[in-house]
Amino acid sequence: GIGFDLPILHRRAMLQDISVAPGMYHALTKRQEYNTDHFDLMLMLAGRNPFSGKLETKSLDYYLYRFGIGQKLDSWDGSKVYPAWKEGWFDDIEKYCRHDVEMTATLFERVAPWLIAPRKQEAVQQAAA
């Protein structure tokens, strides 16, 4: 999302000389409460610690379990991607990433009615169709 995925993708685009529309990166990485273009699910589901006020995020696997959706692939997490890449296990990396995206999309669909205003939900659904 905002804190990891988008900055990495933006930097990789620059390094690979891939054109990105001016302003798109900034539009997608605005603070979540002002952002109507990108929904960072981790931030939207996070809660504030009542004592420190700090944002407390949980893992995707935590939310998948809590909402009864399923779980991430056994024995795989993001820390295994680079070693797998060095070994040339590209099919395994693709399987892991695809599953992660599918599970994130399923979680988003499950919680969207509580997180997104109805008018914005219609726009999101139309864009997905």
DSSP string covering 10-47, please? HHHHHHTT----TTHHHHHTS-GGG-SS---HHHHH-E
CB-CB contact of 40 with 48 (8 Å): no
DSSP letter (8 states) at residue 50: T
Q: For the chain, percent helix, then strand, then coil, each to nearest 5?
A: 60, 5, 35
Q: What pLDDT is attached to residue 83?
A: 93
**pLDDT (mean) for 77-105:** 90
Q: What is the pTM of this model?
A: 0.71
Q: What pLDDT is attached to residue 44?
A: 85
Q: What pLDDT is attached to residue 24?
A: 80
Q: What percent of the chain has pLDDT over 70?
A: 87
